[in-house]
């Protein structure tokens, strides 16, 4: 019985991780956005009921979620690039240590090495994206900062 359960888990785990998990992430994210929009709509309707002469456009501008600046987006890419690169390198070092010391099956060791290579590649891609974006968007970032300093 336990062998059957283990084989079912082993067979369906790639399907769950590869198909079900991304679908759940997208669904939860879209559901969160829909709920945020509904709550904003309810707030606006309640405010209009209490004060019909209210300027709706101004209220919506105040309630709208703030857009991230280009610099903040680039810094987030730098952060995620460093995190995934360091996690990938740490996992690779762990794989090397366990391959020399033993204690892990070759298939698990190979899988861990493959995952560390993917994490390193994703981290490098984020870092490349950061440095290229920083170079290409330098004028836009400067204009954005000038606009913010003029508003202050």
Domain boundaries, the chain: 1-65, 67-152
Helix axes 56-63, 21-50, angle to 10 degrees: 140
Q: Are 81 and 124 in contact, with CB atoms under 8 Å apart?
A: yes
Per the CB < 8 A criterion, the answer to whether 112 and 149 are in contact is: no
The per-residue DSSP string of 39-55 comes to HHHHHHHHHHHH-TT--
Residuewise pLDDT in 10s, the chain (152 residues)? 777 787 777 777 777 778 888 899 999 999 999 998 898 888 888 888 888 777 777 777 777 777 788 888 899 999 999 999 999 999 999 988 888 887 778 888 888 889 999 999 999 999 999 999 989 988 888 888 888 788 76
pLDDT at 120: 96
Q: Which residues make Cβ contacts (< 8 Å) with residue 94, sequence separation at least 6? A: 112, 116
- Rounded Cα–Cα distance for residues 118 and 130 (Å): 18
- CA angle, residues 80, 82, 88, in degrees to nearest 5: 100
The reported pLDDT for the residue numbered 152 is 66
CB-side exposure of 143: number of CA atoms within 13 Å?
4
**Given this model, what pLDDT does residue 127 score?**
96
- pTM of the shown model: 0.63
Place of tokens 């391959």: 99
């Amino acid at each position: 019985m336990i062998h059957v359960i283990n084989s079912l888990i082993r067979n369906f785990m790639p399907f769950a991780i590869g198909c079900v998990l991304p679908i759940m992430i997208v669904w939860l994210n879209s559901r969160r956005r829909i709920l945020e929009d509904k709550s904003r709509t309810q707030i606006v309707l309640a405010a209009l009921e209490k004060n019909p002469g209210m300027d709706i456009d101004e209220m919506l501008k105040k309630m709208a979620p703030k857009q991230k600046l280009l610099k903040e987006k680039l810094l987030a890419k730098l952060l995620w690039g460093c995190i995934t690169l360091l996690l990938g390198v740490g996992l690779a070092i762990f794989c090397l240590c366990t391959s020399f010391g033993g204690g892990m099956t070759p298939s698990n060791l190979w899988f861990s090495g493959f995952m560390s290579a993917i994490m390193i590649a994703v981290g490098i891609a984020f870092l490349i994206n950061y440095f290229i974006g920083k170079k290409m968007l330098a004028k836009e970032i400067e204009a954005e900062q000038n606009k913010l300093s003029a508003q202050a």
